[in-house]
Amino acid sequence: MWLSCILLFFVVINSEAVIETASDEILRGSRTYIKEASPINCAKVPPTFWCTNAKLTKECGFEQLCDRYSKATKNEKLQLTIFYESLCPDCQEFIINDFYRDVYLQFGDFIKFELVPYGNAKNEDGKIKCQHGEKECAINKYHGCVLHYMPEPIPFIVCMEARIQDGSTLEKSAEKCYYTFHVQPHVADQIIHCANGDIGDKLQQEAAKRTAEAFPDPHKYVPWVLFNNVSIESQQFLISGLPIAICEFYNGDKAPGHCNSIGSNSRTLNGCAKGYFLDQDIFEA
């Protein structure tokens, strides 16, 4: 009895205790807190910060790589590639909402878009088999033609995906979108001709090749995103935060205006500006 009491007491004391680990850290439960500030450790600077500040770049010796990156990307549009397939529900949702509303409309001027309507289809000796069947193959092919012939194809693709999501057929949705966007008849004719024939097939073969050559990681699902033509599996989570990713990767003298308002839907993240002090008498009143 006594022994168990003492043991219990010890356990309680112990779990409340602050355990000191390294000299500059303390562990409370499973959380670690910093006790003393340590100088910048260049080995621990997150890669996304490496080229963001000249002082840091120099201090930590990132200059060579950062110079190369800066020269190649300065004021260049960011290349955004989307692998998708027309009947995958997540692709439809992504294209209609996140992609169109939050990326195309807000950051359109800062991005080079590439849509690849092929997704998880299989290419068996030149015969394409789509994940959601023949219907999907026909729509993917149609999209390929729209992307090829229309000067501003994305709103049209979004329009078609929205109709198709609502249960409309390929023909009906296309017809409706031609009408909505006042597409010139000769452009519509080109697209329809393409979608019914060999040109559309050739474009699908190109989309298959484009999808297969993603480097270094092949796509595992759709929608799938590439930034400046780099395909990284572990970074696909960025697809649910594209505005943040774009603001992070775009390397212009001026950040896109919408970067300032990220996260400010419900509250402002501008913080408290330094150098602004309340009147003393507010405290004294």
Site for ligand NAG (CB under 6 A): how many residues? Answer: 3
- 3-state secondary structure (DSSP) of residue 111: strand
Place of tokens 């590639």: 81
CA distance 180 to 23: 67
DSSP string, 174-202: HHHHHHHTT--HHHHHHHHHHHTSHHHHH
The residues near 219 (Cβ < 8 Å, ≥ 6 apart) are 83, 211, 231
Q: Which residue, 165 or 228, has its beta carbon nearer to ligand NAG?
A: 228
Over the window 214 to 253, marking each residue x when it contacts ligand NAG by CB under 6 A and - when it does not, the resulting string is -x-------------x------------------------
- Residues 103-162 binding ligand NAG (CB under 6 A) are none
Query: In the complex with ligand NAG, which residue's Cβ is closer, 177 or 207?
Result: 207
CB of 227 to ligand NAG, least distance (A): 11
Among residues 229 and 264, whose Cβ is nearest to ligand NAG? 229
Using CB under 6 A, which residues numbered 174 to 213 contact ligand NAG?
213
Kindly tell me which of 80 and 159 has the beta carbon lying closer to ligand NAG: 80
Residue nearest to ligand NAG (CB): 229
Report, in Å, the least distance between residue 215 CB and ligand NAG. Answer: 4
What angle is formed at CA 252 by the lines to CA 251 and CA 258, rounded to 5 degrees? 95
Instruction: Determine the Cα–Cα distance for residues 116 and 94; give it in Å rounded to an integer.
Output: 14
Query: Distance (Å, rounded) from C-alpha 35 to C-alpha 55?
Result: 26
CB of 94 to ligand NAG, least distance (A): 21
52 or 205, CB closer to ligand NAG?
Answer: 205
Peptide bond into 216 cis (omega under 30): yes
Q: Which residues bind ligand NAG (CB under 6 A)?
A: 213, 215, 229
